[in-house]
Amino acid sequence: MPGPADLTDAAKVQLLEAAFDENRLDRTKKEPRMATSRKTARHKLNRAHFLGVLLIAGLVGAIFESWMAFLIAAGVLIVSSVHDGHIRP
């Protein structure tokens, strides 16, 4: 088998490309990506808006000292936010 000094430049490039392709393939096998792990800006904005709705509903529930007031406020705010387009499905 020829040593590294005996190879031409084109052969060295081919060996490097083959090694790079093998490493890339091995890396994808070790760390599979799931489609659900991807977070877009829309997901982040929806989550932030939803947490804001829960905070406001929590304040309403605390003021009235009622879980029912919390649930009604949360439901109304979420439905109105989806209808207005602030929370996009």
**Residuewise pLDDT in 10s, the chain (89 residues):** 556 566 677 777 777 777 766 555 555 555 555 555 678 888 999 999 999 999 999 999 999 999 999 999 999 999 999 999 888 88
For tokens 């529930």, the residue is 61
Per-residue pLDDT, 39: 83
Say what the pTM is: 0.55
Cα 53 to Cα 79: distance, rounded to the nearest angstrom = 10
Please report the pLDDT score of residue 88 as a whole number: 87
Q: What is the 3-state secondary structure (H, E, C) of 22-56?
A: HHHHHHHHHCCCCHHHCCCHHHHHHHHHHHHHHHH
DSSP 8-state class, residue 8: -
Residue 34: what pLDDT? Answer: 56
Task: Give the tokens for residue 52.
Answer: 């804001």
C-alpha span between 12 and 17 (Å, rounded): 9
